[in-house]
Structure 1
Amino acid sequence: MSFPPKQRVLVVEDDPRMLALVCQGLREVGHTPMPASDGDTGLDLAMKLTFDSIILDIGLPVQDGYSVALAIRSQRSVPILMLTARDSEEEILRGFDHGADDYLTKPFSFRELLARLEVLGRAATRQATNELHLDPARLLVYRNERPIQLTRNEYLLLVELHRRSGSTADRQSLMEAVWEQPQMISANALEVLVNGLRAKLDGDFPNKLLLTVRGVGYRLQSFVNASVETDPRQAP
C-alpha cells in the first residue's frame, strides 16, 4: 500500500542508517524523498521547498523535532508525521500540540508508515487542491503552497476573477480591471492574458480553477482560502 505516486517527502532523521532505509523504501515505491539529518536543515528545506508530507524525528541535533514542527506549522499546512522512539503518552500529546498530524513509534512496519502517509496525503489533497493565497507585494499566488510568479497584469486579472469568484466575469469588466485604457488594447489581448494565467495557475493540477464561459467571459471556481492584503494596483 502507498499513497499516490511521485510524492515529495522530506525525511528529517539524525540516525544515518534509519535515514537511508526510509529514503530507500520511499524511492522503491515511487516517491521522491529528500533527506535532512538535523533540525535546522529540515526546517530550512521545509520553508524553501514544497513537500507533500514530512517525516520528522524528535531527537534531532541543533533543534529538536518539536521546535521544527511548530515552526513549520506556523507557515505551512503540509502533513507532518512524527517518527520517533519516544512512545510515552506525554511525548505523543506534545507532538500533536506542536503541529504533528500523526505519530508513529520505532520500531515500526514500513507498510504501516506508507499507509499513514497515504491517509495524510489524501486528506491534504482534499483540503488544499482549491486553496489559494495571494501575495500582492511580490505578485505571487500560492496554490497548494506552491509559489506561482505572476506578471502585474496576470495578478490584476486574478484579483478581479477572485472578486467575482464563483460567478462569470464578462470580458469588458476584466479588461477594465487590468488596463487603464482598455479601448486601446487589441481584441485578443485578454485571451492571451487569460491563457498565460491559466497555464500558471492550473498547470498540472487535476482540478482546474480558471474556466471559459463561451460567449460571456471567464469564471474562477470557488476556492477555500484567499486573501488580498493591499490594492494590487500598488504592486511594483
Structure 2
Amino acid sequence: MNQYLVLIVEDDEKLAVLLQTYFEKNNFATLVAHDGLTGVQLVHERQPDLLVLDLMLPGIDGWEVCRRIRKNNDVPIIMLTARDEETDRLIGLEIGADDYVTKPFSPREVVARAKVILRRTYKQPPSQLVRAGNVLIDIDRHEVRKDEGLIDLTPTEFKILELFAVNCGRVLSRLQIVEKIQDYAFDGYERTIDAHVKNLRRKLEDNPKEPRLIQTVYGVGYKLMGSGDGNE
C-alpha cells in the first residue's frame, strides 16, 4: 500500500484532528504539530511529502516556518489562514508556499487541493508504507514504528519484515524467505528463520506468545496480517 505522509501544523487542536481525520480517510499517513518550532523539527526528522501549515502559530508564525523550511527543503506547502487579504497570500506564495486556503474552509477542499499538488509534484507516491495493527513499516525510509515509537531492527530482521510487508496477507514458506533474502546457507535454514521471526515478534507484538501480526501457518510458513485482514 502506497501512502503520502502529510504533516499538519495547526495550533487549533480540534481543527488539526478534523484535518487529520479527513486525510486518513483518503489513505494519507499523517503527523500533527501544534507549534511552528515542532513543525520545523518534524519536517527535518520525518521528511513529509506535504505540509499543511497554519499561518498564525505560537512561537514562530507560519511565514517564518516556511522561510526556515525553504532554506533546504522543497516539500509542497499549503498555507491556512483566517485572513483573506491579497497581500498575505502574495507574501506566502513569494516565500515558498504552493497554495493558500482561507478559513473557514471545508476539509474536503484541503484534501482535494493536496491531491492536486501531490499529483503535480510526484509521479507516484514516494513512500511505501504498510500498516499491520499498531505497527507501521516504512520500506523506503527503512523505518518501523510501533505506536509512533521507532523500533530498532537488525538488517536481517528488517529484510524479513520487508518481505512480509510487500507480500502482506500471503503465506511465505521458510525456503521462500531464504531464497528472497539470500543470507543463509541451506543447512539449518528453518531454525534460523524461526529464530528471526521469534525476535521480530518479541519487538513488534503486544503479546509475543500470542502473535497477531506475524502468524504461523502450520506446515507452510508465516504471513503478516495487515490492517483490514482477518485473523485466523
TM-score normalised by structure 1 residue count? 0.51
Q: Does 1:115 align with 2:112?
A: yes
The amino acid that maps onto 2:91 is R
What is aligned with 2:207? none
For the Cα contact (< 8 Å) 1:36–1:42, is it kept in 2? yes
* Counterpart-to-counterpart distance in 2, 1:82 and 1:6: 21
For the Cα contact (< 8 Å) 1:58–1:65, is it kept in 2? yes
* Counterpart-to-counterpart distance in 1, 2:49 and 2:38: 18
Q: Does 1:92 align with 2:89?
A: yes
Q: Does 1:38 align with 2:4?
A: no
Aligned counterpart for 1:13 among listed residues 10, 15, 24: 10
Deviations 1:135-165 (A, max 9, x none): xxxxxxxxxxx879xxxxxxxxxxxxxxxxx
Deviations 1:146-186 (A, max 9, x none): 879xxxxxxxxxxxxxxxxxxxxxxxxxxxxxxxxxxxxxx
Q: Partner of 2:105: helix, strand, or coil?
A: coil
Shift of 1:25: 1.4
Task: Output aligned runs, 1:1-236, within 5 Å.
Answer: 6-126=3-123
Shift of 1:84: 1.4
* Counterpart-to-counterpart distance in 1, 2:70 and 2:124: 15
Q: Partner of 1:77: helix, strand, or coil?
A: coil
Shift of 1:117: 0.4
* Counterpart-to-counterpart distance in 1, 2:24 and 2:18: 10
* Counterpart-to-counterpart distance in 1, 2:123 and 2:28: 19
Gap change, CA 1:17 and 1:147, over 3 Å in 2: closer
What is aligned with 1:192? none
Deviations 1:72-124 (A, max 9, x none): 11111110000111210011111112210000111112221111101110121
> Where does structure 2 lack aligned partners over 5 or more consecutive residues?
127-139, 143-165, 167-232
Deviations 1:172-220 (A, max 9, x none): xxxxxxxxxxxxxxxxxxxxxxxxxxxxxxxx9xxxxxxxxxxxxxxxx
Paired residues in the alignment total: 130
TM-score normalised by structure 2 residue count? 0.52
- Over aligned residue pairs, what C-alpha RMSD do you find? 2.3
Q: Partner of 2:37: helix, strand, or coil?
A: helix
Shift of 1:31: 0.9
What is aligned with 1:222? none
* Counterpart-to-counterpart distance in 2, 1:107 and 1:25: 16
* Counterpart-to-counterpart distance in 2, 1:38 and 1:110: 20
Gap change, CA 1:95 and 1:127, over 3 Å in 2: farther
For the Cα contact (< 8 Å) 2:63–2:95, is it kept in 1? yes
* Counterpart-to-counterpart distance in 1, 2:13 and 2:141: 32
Gap change, CA 1:78 and 1:121, over 3 Å in 2: same
* Counterpart-to-counterpart distance in 2, 1:43 and 1:31: 20
Gap change, CA 1:128 and 1:30, over 3 Å in 2: closer
* Counterpart-to-counterpart distance in 1, 2:31 and 2:55: 17
Percent identity among equivalent residues? 40
Structure 1 consecutive aligned stretches of length 4 or more whose deviation exceeds 6 Å: none
* Counterpart-to-counterpart distance in 2, 1:78 and 1:120: 11
